[in-house]
Structure 1
């Protein structure tokens, strides 16, 4: 009788145990867990995943253990990576796992201690989880999912439904926003301009009288008249003064040629004064004697057989050290005769520069003039023309290119042209505009942007650093953007 009672009790307990196991298997533990403070980052080719597991709402059977495996799963393809798991143990299951002996079917929990926690129901508990894995670009478009298994006895395992913790773990690639602003040019109150021309007038050897009917002088003076009359009739400008420059060819002595260049320049100035009714104080006369620079340029561009020998003499023998005599000795004198006949005459000339003031123009007038006579405009007028176009349009950038080409020595013009080229992602052209202004903090900042576009982050940082040291605020922002970009791409 007692045996029957014992057997009945055993069967009843076994049935209750099986029922309990069945009931436990139906509990969705993962919904009782909350993931908090989730963070993911990428640095130096490593992705770091971290979060806190809040267990406050978990009522875990003392005989159960949750084996939770975080998974990174792509939302676009089949890429999937299982991370290191963590375990939440019931108190009885923890005791069983910690028994000093092995038995068949005993769970081998190969998880570090900081990823294990014994659940005390109805108490506040949490587990901090962190892990790393090699970065791959697909991780930027991946979910964080929890896979959970319930272990309720030695050989009892049941998977629970996956739980999506986050639909996106990493941000998109960092796209830097570099600052490079156009500069508003100052209004030019008086637009003083000038044009340079040359008059190749002929004089009797050793004389300086300007004879209008001597050789080709009539044609040369007619050309001068055409230029001056056109400028006088131009309603866009008012002539203010003239600069007359005299030059001589190298034959004869240096001193005589200096005097000749002076007197011939003065003769041409007197002609201009009388011809066009201007006063003497509107003329500035200057003279330069022998035009060796002009001769050197002409020889460099020639195909003379003795070209290099002539250039060596010009570059290495002083004017008062026998330069002309050495030229006379070349090739038995035949080379000098050729120079005298074909290369010296164009050196005997008067250059003249006509200075004038250009009037102010409204935007519509300026839009037409920038195509044909941009020199009459101010940089500010050009800037106003540019602003009639969308800032990202080719026409907008073209205005600044024209400005720099028209006024190559105007710093603000070339800086603005460089900005336009950088907006068009043409860093090499931008660097060409900036080379003359390398010590300008604005130019340093723009050169930093140019080297970023070329993929040279080392040189970009160098220029940003220099610009920051010079007090450029845009460069400080750009340097920070560059650092974030570098960190994101390590």
Structure 2
């Protein structure tokens, strides 16, 4: 009879327990905006608040909430659980934890809002891809443990803003030099020597003269266009405040026809006439001009012959290389093979040697110090020397600095200053900063 009574008592208790179990679909509800905020690359703040919603929690029940950070690849970091618990349930588990010497999880009353706030250590895999925050919910009473719908509370991703080098602002001379190779920086200047074949100087400008004359005619060959180019370049650079012409090299030449003495004089006068032409149109100091009377164009002639397929090529080269006297050298070439090679050279080569040689201009430009400083800071950031980059950029009066300064601020833990810098950079039209601002705001949980 006693056994029957025990069974009846057990069944009554079970029935009572089952009657208290919620039967309808139930849902825990978040009560505020969750926060996933990276403190730095090693710490992530996780904060949220929830309430029981329509989950009915009696005195003997509890709701166990377990936050998890997960990636799509399945990596998971399980955070310490928290509870919403009824009074008797809470007393029971408090006593049990005390008797066992265990640490009790955070517990809120069943009707309260539960606030979760924890800074967790970041493992390397957590920086590699997006992290989702979910909260697993379990309802537990005297009879069983039942899962409820999990809460998806948002996602975050670690973001490292990137600096970007800036293009220096080019002076007028530097802009012209991109299109006109005749204009060179003064660092590339080398004095002219007579062994240089000017025909190989493809980046020079040439002005031509009639045979045996130093009259500079704009209507001769392509002189008009050539002279207009050099004058225009010199004028534009002269009007620029960030660059200047510091040297104009004019090399006067003559063909080998005639006496050496006359050709030396002719080449010198051609160079002087060209210098006078430029000086009359562009007001430049005299010491800018380097005027060289280079005499007869033997280096050019030898170069032409060496590349030719003339039958007498070797004999011509031997005459040029082994006859120091230039007058005698010309005579021997005239007589070679009845004058046939000389006539060919006269018709095909000498006409191009009757010119003032080459003109090349050299410039100095004021360097873009702002760009230099910013790009130095970019290099410092990439080397991990972020504090040095901040020190370099803070006093710089240049609106192009804001993106790189924002990166340096972010990496040194100055988040608010970083956001302000990125906002200023975006306002100035910096597309790189727009991506950095969006990424930083996501990291901040905004």
The TM-score normalised by the length of structure 2 is: 0.49
Calculate the TM-score normalised by the size of structure 1: 0.45
